[in-house]
Chains A and B, each alone.
Chain A
Amino acid sequence: MTVLALAAEAVASGTSEVVLFWVFAVLALGAAIAVITMRNIVHGALMLVVNFLAIAGLYLTLESSFLSIIQVLVYAGAIMVLFLFVIMLLGVDNDDLLAADVRGRVGAVLGGALLAGALTFAFLGPYTGPASVCGPDAPAAGFGEVDCVGLGAVVDEDGEVIGGAYDEDDASGVAFLGRAMFTRYTYPFELAALLLTVATIGAVILARRRDLAPEDLDDADELGPDADGDGETRAEVGAARPVEPGMTGEAGDAPGDEPSEADGVVDVVAEPDDEREG
């Protein structure tokens, strides 16, 4: 009821921003719940896209259109596509994913409900008054209220801007973000560059299927360090022989290490590149 009352009040006060907020918020929440309840995993992933789009909408209501469009571009447009890629290539069976036991699910639901309840309780008071709506019309926060979050301006009774980050010349918020990123947050920004470097190296290591650096210990245990008894270990074998196209692995591959079905599909897409890497 509180929710409805709040919505009604917001509409009455003419702030379309609040209406939009509720629309997007409900959409985002509904999609988020759908993500974890959908039986078909692709449908679930698509619901996640809907969730991202709804959150982009929420950014819009916070007057940060740049962030909003980047959310669409990066999350909905790139990351989720890669997600779907993996799901489709691996052909994940729906049943595999839903094999959680009931007790665990009950616990998770209870825990989630508890957290959600606490958060709702915590947020309802200070964050829902008129001061929580950013923009040129936003009043300053009264006692027990909190200033709006976002790029809107906070204005006192006389219309003087006293806080917030609203800037008419920078309606999309991109200059604001740029300034923040390259002054106050330069250090984490540069660290993020290192993070990407690390992630790239990791991806390369994990993605390179055919290692010329030969297999280690476990195979050695199974086959002995020099299984074919010609006096050279597989390291040397692998290094001395040029890789032939279409070869699926070195001579001494461990059983069970053969490329799986999924590998086969990847082959179609990425084979030639792989050959050169080898």
Chain B
Amino acid sequence: MTVLAQADPNVVLIPDVAWSSFAPELAPTFMALVLLLVAITRGREQIVAAPAGLASVAGGVWLVTQGPVVPGAVAIALGVGLPAAVFAFPRRTSLVQAWGAGMALVGALVLTGWQYVTVLDVAGDGSGRIVPQEALAGALANDGIAFFTRITVYLTALIVIPLGYGYLQDRRINRAEVEPLLLLSVVGMVAIATANDLITIFVALEVFSLALYVLCGLARRDRRSQESSLKYFVMGAVASAILLYGMALLYVATGSVALGDIGTALTLVSTPRIVAVLGLVLVTVGIGFKIALVPFHLWTPDVYQGAPTNITAFMAAATKAAGFAVVLRLYLVAFPGLQSLWVPMLAVLAAITMLYGAYLALVQRDLKRMLAYSSITHAGYATIGVVSVSDAGLSATLWYLLTYAVGTLGAFGCILALERTRKGEVGLLELRGLGRTSPAIAGMLSLSLLSLAGLPPTAGFAGKLVVFQAGLEAGLTWLVVIGVLSSVVAAFFYLRLAGQMFLEEPDEGAPVPVQSTGLSAGIAVSATLVIFLGVQPQLFLQLADSAVALVP
């Protein structure tokens, strides 16, 4: 702030815009806006798609001639791809939108890779770590957290779009706003993962929260969906207010909103400690709500159950990744000075979360609700990595969130398949004998559940292993023991469910799950990832390890 104040008021400081630092987000952002316009045309998509595509191609060609080839290529590909989709699916706006959104997310993933290779640049010191980059006047930090969260969030959204396409059609809630909102919430999530000051964190949080509130209430005539939306909105607003209050106190205590400066200021003696601590507590409450740690989890089951299932899948996987990204950066960059306070606090929260979530998951009758409690439990596991306060813990958390995301996506994908024929909630008892009637879905569901339980050879196992390792290294044996305990409880339950599916006889007239291309593809991809990450974790683990570098 002071730097700005002393600047000559007559000189307009035009900040250097490091476009590459947020290049991956540009693809979904622009695609969301174009898709919104496409939606207005009511069947004459080419009116918007053609000029938008042309502009994108032109921009891409210009970029290629200027130097950055990959972004240019992505722009050209998107510029060609969207009109092509319009041409291929005339008068089917929702299909065009799904394809457009998918392409944008692929583009974002490609750009993330490009960023990793060129901009972030693996450090030449042999450590294999990326060199973090601070951009946009310090508002944005392009470090490991940002990089890995980008992968998780974009991948999640990319899988969710085909998963949910048929479901939205069936329930007739394939509104034109779904894909744009989804893309914008993805942008918000990535923005919060890259945010390096309190203001950016808050605005980004609101971007994706607001989009999710609306997406939860998509089913206008479904009262549970409406309830879910309202509940999420009201409680989310309260949590945001608390978070904002905490941020204000932090600013008051440290005189800065930049995380790095806060981190420095909190180590100084002159910083009023009580104010900072109050800020920290309030921020923890606010963030704890978003990642559903236990005392602040009350919204989760109702919201997850009521929301359209594909949105639930997206929320469960992506929101958690984004929330933990901000937790990691906040606590490791801004709050090291208060470590003695927040480490025990978060550790206790994690312990309660793991036990309580596992216990309540046991007594659920509804599959979606059960997965909601499971997601709460998993927030507890991921927190172990945070309270380890080490490089290993950091990379473990990031890695854990990816494994959790693929597992939960697979599970929700199977629910989508079941729900589409059952027209409503899927009770656990209805799963009896599913292995006989449709072995594919039952197999995929069991696999995903095993991954969520953390059994080998699935991704969940690899995730838990790394997190627990980090916890042990940090001397948090008690926490790890609680974690293992809660996993055992969950594993018992998931295994019983799998047994129910394969060993018991199906009920009379039990409906057969729907198989559609998008759904099958989505489930297949997540199941493949579950296996792949479980058997061959090295590739992504390496990425996660290389991602430990933080912007100071």
Contact = CB atoms under 8 A, between A and B. Distances in A.
Contacts of A44: none
Contacts of A216: 171-173, 219-222
A218 B210 contact: no
A192 B171 contact: no
B66 to A, nearest CB: 22
B366 to A, nearest CB: 15
Contact of B139 (A143, A187, A198): A187
A164 B5 contact: yes
Interface string B390-430: 00000000000000000000000000000000011000000
A119 B199 CA distance: 22
B496 interface: no
Contact of A185 (B7, B13, B14, B199): B199
B139 A188 contact: yes
Interface string A115-152: 10011011101110000000000000001101101000
Given A118-B278, A206-B217, A216-B173, A163 B2 contact: yes
B539 interface: no
Nearest to A204: B177
A183 to B, nearest CB: 5
Interface string A232-269: 00010000000000000000001001000000000000
B252 interface: yes
A74 B526 CA distance: 47
Nearest to A199: B210
Contact of B221 (A184, A204, A215): A215
Interface stretch (A10-18, A84-92, A94-102, A169-177): A169-177
A211 interface: yes
A46 interface: no
Contacts of A197: 33, 184
Contacts of A121: 274
Contacts of B29: 194
Interface in B86-101: none
Interface stretch (B151-159, B200-208, B444-452): B200-208
B175 A186 contact: no
B525 interface: no
Interface in B156-193: 171-175, 177, 180-181, 184-185, 187-188, 191
A201 B36 contact: yes
Given A192-B203, A202-B211, A122 B275 contact: yes
Contact of A191 (B9, B191, B220, B424): B191
Contacts of B9: 167, 169-170, 175, 179
B214 interface: yes
A194 B140 CA distance: 16
A84 to B, nearest CB: 19
B173 A194 contact: no
Contacts of B270: 143-144, 146
B211 A198 contact: yes
B223 interface: yes
B535 interface: no
Given A179-B7, A184-B138, A217 B272 contact: no
A164 B3 CA distance: 10
Nearest to A151: B5
A273 interface: no
Contacts of B210: 195, 198-199, 202
A217 B199 contact: no
A191 to B, nearest CB: 5
A187 B275 CA distance: 28
B255 interface: yes
Interface in B196-254: 197, 199-200, 203-204, 206-207, 210-211, 213-214, 217-223, 249, 252
B363 interface: no
Interface residues of A, number: 55
B137 interface: yes
A212 B436 CA distance: 40
Contacts of B255: 146-147, 149
A240 to B, nearest CB: 15
Interface in A4-40: none
Contact of B184 (A122, A194, A214, A257): A194
A198 B187 CA distance: 11
B203 A217 contact: no
A198 B22 CA distance: 19
B5 A122 contact: no
A218 B224 CA distance: 10
Contacts of A167: 5, 9
A179 B4 contact: yes
Given A176-B5, A184-B138, A194-B207, A215 B172 contact: yes
Contacts of A170: 9
B223 A188 contact: no
B117 interface: no
A213 B274 contact: no
A205 interface: yes
Given A147-B255, A202-B213, A218-B223, A188 B13 contact: no
B222 A186 contact: no
A186 B139 contact: yes
A220 interface: yes
A146 B249 CA distance: 14
A187 B221 CA distance: 38
Nearest to A121: B274
Contact of B219 (A185, A187, A194, A217): A217
A219 interface: yes
Interface of A: 115, 118-119, 121-123, 125-127, 143-144, 146-147, 149, 163-165, 167, 169-170, 175-176, 179-180, 183-188, 191-192, 194-195, 197-199, 201-202, 204-206, 211, 213-221, 235, 254, 257
30 contacts: A119-B275, A125-B272, A126-B272, A127-B272, A146-B255, A146-B270, A167-B5, A176-B5, A183-B14, A183-B137, A184-B4, A184-B138, A186-B15, A186-B137, A187-B140, A188-B139, A188-B197, A188-B199, A191-B204, A194-B29, A195-B210, A197-B33, A198-B214, A201-B180, A202-B210, A205-B217, A215-B172, A217-B423, A221-B423, A235-B172
Counting from the closest, the 6 A-B pairs by CB-CB distance are A202-B214, A122-B274, A165-B5, A187-B139, A216-B171, A215-B221
